[in-house]
Amino acid sequence: MNFISTIPNSPEILTTTVGSYPVPDWLNALPSEQSIVDATRVIFDTQRQAGIDLPTDGELYRFDINHPDTNGMIDYFVESMGGISTGIGRSDGEAFRSKAEMGWRAKPAGIVEGALEEGRLNLLEDCLRASEVAGGGFKFTVTSPYMLARTLLDHHYGDFEALTMAIADVLADQVRGLPCACVQVDEANIPGNPADGPLAARAINRVLDAVEGETAVHFCFGNYGGQSIQKGSWKALLEFLNELHAGHLVLELAHRPDDDLDALAEIDSRIALGLGVIDIKVNHVETPDEIATRIENAESKVGKGRVKFVHPDCGFWMLKRSIADRKLEALVKGRDKFLGLG
């Protein structure tokens, strides 16, 4: 299957979004297959009208009417894979809570009871549905195998590395031949666990190596209720980031301390940089001047020409549409102001 390879060649810095978009109220009110398609069309059109060069489908392929307040980053994948049960008993919950590293989650997303397999997971169908209304090249997002593994209680593999790589194998089979311009792997857990960098890199690379088009990896420090979940710094992750087989990185930076930029100068030049210049944890709508200044500050640290994409820090799913849309417009205007366009 041919992929859509229409990422623009110019201008020299492209605008993109990270993934999620606020679920339209009318989709919640009257959900159906057609409503999801219509909402996806609206989300693509909203981004293109704002001037976004590489839009996403708003991650509506993961929409669940029973959980409209989430973006399905974990549950969509866990509930679809074969070998995982989502029936959580008392003993399962207690066993999961006893894991010290799981303080941020009250119960497992699922129980691994057998060898992982495709099950009902069908990213090709999801991506095809988006491609029919995309109006051009777009980015499709997939959750990192490492992040998924951290949310599971394993009763089969008995080894965290084996579990993580098994998830990676399932996802690698899913991303082959997707009809999109770019596949992005999302990882919001490793920034707080840099010691697991070698394993996370192997697992993410297994997925990236199966992609036929442009590849990206998005990293943030978590976002729920406008709060960061993970603690850490980009400097602690440099060795890990440089191991990735990614075309470009999509990094949270607008909500980060200024000295985080210093570390990015050490990222391998073969990997392009995506710069978070929109803070999605606040309702303040950035001005074009603020965004242009953030790009200028970044280039002064990492070098002229290293920044290839600018984008929000993370997805928009927790913001109101009116705020998200104004931030989209500001992103494009700020990029244009920095480049002297228009």
List the CATH number of the domain containing 295: 3.20.20.210
Instruction: Supply the pLDDT for residue 226.
Output: 53
CB 309 within 8 A of CB 274: yes
Can you give the residue range of the structural domain that contains 189?
14-70+117-147+159-339
pLDDT, tens digit, for every residue of 259-278? 778 888 899 999 999 999 99
Query: Is residue 201 included in any domain, yes or no?
Result: yes
Q: Where are the alpha helices (DSSP H) in 151-231?
A: 160-175, 197-208
Residue of 198, 208, 193 lying closest to 150 (CA atoms) = 193
Concatenate the DSSP letters of all residues of 57-88 into one string: -BTGGG--TT-TTS--TTHHHHHHSEEEE---
Query: Is residue 168 included in any domain, yes or no?
Result: yes
pTM: predicted TM-score of the whole model, two decimal places: 0.93
Query: Is residue 40 included in any domain, yes or no?
Result: yes
Instruction: Supply the pLDDT for residue 242.
Output: 96
Q: What percent of the chain has pLDDT over 90?
A: 75
User: Would you say residue 1 has pLDDT above 50?
Assistant: no
Query: Is residue 82 included in any domain, yes or no?
Result: no
Query: Is residue 179 included in any domain, yes or no?
Result: yes
Query: Is residue 199 included in any domain, yes or no?
Result: yes
Mean pLDDT of 56-79: 88
Query: Is residue 154 included in any domain, yes or no?
Result: no
Model confidence at 230, in pLDDT bands (50, 70, 90)?
Answer: low
Instruction: Supply the pLDDT for residue 181.
Output: 96
- How many structural domains comprise the chain? 1
Mean residue pLDDT across the chain? 91
